[in-house]
């Protein structure tokens, strides 16, 4: 049983694909973006969770070619939706730190965006706070370069990691994504609602957009909307779905 050997071949064999999870504008309930989520259809084991194979991809370095494939596919898919005349949306792509630290990462991103024909401001790169550990300068500089190109950057799983407010202020971030652990208990747990309120206010002060992740019910949604959270993502609106389902959601948007 060697998942890493199989993963090495998965790209060439076409076993990887992307699902897309909608991001919804809280006030209008309109879909304004999607997060690309990698899936692996293993010939023997069926669907393998990214929680299982992303760490293997990171340890083996396979995340670099796989991540390039994800970026290319996501940009091309978004361009395809646009060519169909659908309302323009932003596609978000998760990046592991190993990808960010490649010396030629900017050229790679530039080339893929150019090839796809997607407008750079329709792409968002999701990074996590842990990307800065030991690499603060390199990653901070990279974010500045991405901002020059109008490519958006979001800080994923915010609040769970290395959250230095000092660092946050200095980063060229477009969006903060509140980790779903806060949303999960926002109406039952003791402090989570206040933490969310603080993050929303902080994002506003720093001129950043704020997204709440893991919204699963109407009560959470209404509460976040009242708190003036910009966007929501979660099973309440939609699970991750195939590209055709995004077409349906966008066609229903008027």
Q: What residues line the site for Na ion (CB under 5 A)?
A: 156-157, 213
CB of 214 to ligand G, least distance (A): 4
Determine which helix (DSSP H) or strand (DSSP E) holds 128, and give its type and residue range. strand 123-128
Near Mn ion by CB under 5 A: residue from 156, 179, 230, 231: 156
Size of the site for Mn ion (CB under 5 A): 3
**Residue 157, Cα to own-chain centre: how many angstroms?**
10
CB of 157 to ligand G, least distance (A): 5
CB of 54 to ligand G, least distance (A): 5
Residues 6+ apart with CB under 8 A from 133: 162
Quick one: DSSP state of residue 239? -
Rounded distance between C-alpha atoms, residue 78 and residue 90, angstroms: 8
213 binds Mn ion (CB under 5 A): no
Mask 73-112, x = binds Mn ion (CB under 5 A)?
---------------------x------------------
CB of 78 to ligand G, least distance (A): 15
Angle (CA) 240-173-230 rounded to 5° is 55
Nearer CB in complex with Mn ion: 126/129: 126
Q: CA 187, 129, 71, 118: dihedral to nearest 10 degrees?
A: 80
Which residues contact Mn ion (rule: CB under 5 A)?
A: 94, 126, 156
């Amino acid at each position: 049983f060697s998942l890493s050997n199989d993963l090495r071949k998965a790209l060439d064999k076409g076993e990887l694909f992307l699902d897309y999870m909608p991001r919804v504008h809280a006030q209008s309930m309109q879909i304004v973006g999607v997060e690309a989520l990698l899936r692996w259809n293993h010939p023997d084991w069926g669907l393998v969770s990214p929680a299982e194979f992303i760490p293997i991809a990171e340890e083996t370095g396979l995340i670099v070619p796989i991540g390039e494939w994800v970026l290319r596919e996501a940009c091309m898919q978004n361009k395809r939706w646009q060519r169909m005349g659908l309302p323009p949306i932003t596609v978000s792509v998760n990046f592991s730190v190993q990808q960010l630290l490649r010396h030629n990462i900017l050229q790679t991103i530039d080339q893929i965006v150019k090839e796809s024909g997607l407008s750079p401001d329709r792409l968002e790169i999701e990074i996590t706070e842990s990307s800065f550990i030991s690499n603060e300068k390199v990653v901070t500089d990279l974010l500045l370069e991405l901002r020059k190109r109008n490519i958006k950057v979001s800080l994923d799983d915010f609040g769970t990691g290395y959250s230095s407010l000092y660092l946050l202020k200095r980063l060229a971030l477009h969006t903060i994504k509140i980790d779903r652990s806060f949303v999960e208990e926002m109406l039952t747990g003791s402090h989570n609602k206040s933490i969310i309120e603080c993050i929303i206010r902080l994002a506003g002060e720093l001129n950043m957009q704020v997204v709440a992740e893991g919204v699963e019910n109407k009560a959470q949604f209404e509460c976040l909307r009242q708190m003036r959270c910009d966007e929501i993502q979660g099973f309440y609106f939609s699970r991750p779905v195939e590209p055709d389902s995004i077409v349906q959601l966008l066609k229903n948007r008027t």
